[in-house]
Amino acid sequence: MSTLLDVAGVGKSFKGLRAVHDVSFQVSEKEIFALIGPNGAGKTTTFNLIAGAIRTDTGGIRFAGRDIVGLRPDQICDAGIGRTFQIVMPFPDLTVLENVMVGALHGETDVAAARRRALDCLALLELDTRRHVYAANLTLPDRKRLEVARALATRPRLLLLDEVMAGLRPTETDRMVAILKRLRAETGLTILLIEHVMRAVMALSDRVLVLHHGERIAEGTPEEVTADPAVLECYLGSAPV
């Protein structure tokens, strides 16, 4: 399998505070890759660096062979990376369908086609019955699914999911896991996710990278990582699986 995303030694400091330091990893095509680590480990910062929301201090990021450092978020989206936000950001005065249409208009030439694509995405995320609800009126699990549907509608090759399971009940988590697995199977999508819910990480990911204090401490399959003493000490020690 070829490498789709290549993060090489990226670093970022905020006012002298090291958020991410010399982090490297590769995500292959059609892989589901998880970033885990305790709070403040630098996971969301790493995401924001990839998505162009903030600029790297050091290191390089290549996507599908192309250097994407310094691109704006919309250009990153053009390049084929879709993202969700940890703190969900729906467009409150737009309906669910219109929210997803904004994503779908990316790469579709006309509004009618975008609408069809948006409906497909909503069906995939099992949100189609809520499509005419204003996003302001959605429940949290539905908002999380809306984030995914919207990002998916932009036709990304790589989907960045930032804690889309947080705050979901176990049954809802299982549903989301099933949806994401189906997505990969049906569309060949590559997924990079940040997740605290270990149940989902174990069920979904092919490989896991563990960050602690902005540095990489372990990488491997979920089974390897959870058996790693360094990981157990810093992270899982206080929160057993």
Partner 1 sequence: MIDRLFGDLTRAGLAALAAFVLLLLVLPGFATGYILSVTTIILYLAFVGQAWNLMLGFAGLLSIGHALFMGIGAYASAYLFARHGLPPIVGLIVGGGLAVAVGAAISALAFRFAIGGVYFALLTIAFAEFTRIMVDHARFLGGTEGLFLPVSAESRQGFDLFHLRGRPEMFYYVIMLLCLGAHALCRWLLTSRAGYYWRAVRDNPQAAEALGVNIFRYRMYAVMVSSGMAATAGVFYAFFYNNLFPEQIFSVERSIEMTLAPIVGGVGTLFGPIFGAFVLTPLGEVLTWAIEWLQHEEIIGKQVKVDGVKLLFWGIAVAAIVLLQPRGLWPWACKRLGLIRAPEDREEGR
What is the contact mask toward partner 1 in residues 22 to 61, using x (rule: CB under 8 A)? -----------------------------x-x--------
Backbone phi, then psi, for 57, in 5-degree steps? Answer: -85, -45
Min dist CB 151 to partner 1, Å, is 7
| DSSP letter, residue 53 | S
Cβ–Cβ under 8 Å, residues 103 and 119: no
Nearest approach in angstroms of CB 183 to partner 1 is: 18
What is the per-residue binding string for partner 1 in 169-198, x denoting contact by CB under 8 A?
Answer: ------------------------------
Nearer to partner 1, 119 or 232 (CB): 119
Figure out which of the listed residues 94, 179, 203, 232 binds partner 1, where binding follows CB under 8 A: 94
Among 66, 72, 116, 182, binds partner 1 (CB under 8 A): 72
Least distance CB 87 / partner 1 (angstroms): 10
Pick from 163, 159, 158: nearest CA to 143: 163
Going by C-beta distance under 8 Å and a sequence separation of 6 or more, which residues neighbour residue 114?
101, 104, 105, 108, 153
- 188-227: b or e for each residue (b if 16 or more CB lie within 10 Å)? ebbbbbbbebbebbbbbbebbbbbbebbbbbbeebeebbe
How many binding residues for partner 1 (CB under 8 A)? 32
Question: Based on CB atoms, which residue is closest to partner 1, 88 or 231?
Answer: 88
Residue 125 binds to partner 1 (criterion: CB under 8 A): no
Nearer to partner 1, 20 or 96 (CB): 96
Edge to edge, the sheet with strand 32-36 lists 81-83, 158-162, 190-194, 32-36, 207-212, 215-220
Whether residue 216 contacts residue 58, with contact meaning beta carbons closer than 8 Å, is answered with: no
Nearer Cβ to partner 1 (44/226): 44
- Which is closer to partner 1, CB of 59 or CB of 82? 82
Strands 207-212, 215-220: pairing is antiparallel
Tell me which of 18, 30, 62, 106 binds partner 1, using CB under 8 A.
106
Q: Should residue 69 be labelled a site residue for partner 1 when binding is judged by CB under 8 A?
A: no
In this structure, the number of other CB atoms found within 10 A of the CB of residue 233 comes to 12
Smallest distance from partner 1 to CB 61, Å? 16
Radius of gyration of the chain from its Cα atoms, rounded to whole angstroms: 17
Residues that bind partner 1 (CB under 8 A): 51, 53, 72-74, 77-78, 82-83, 85, 89-95, 97-98, 101-103, 105-107, 111, 132, 134, 150-151, 153-154
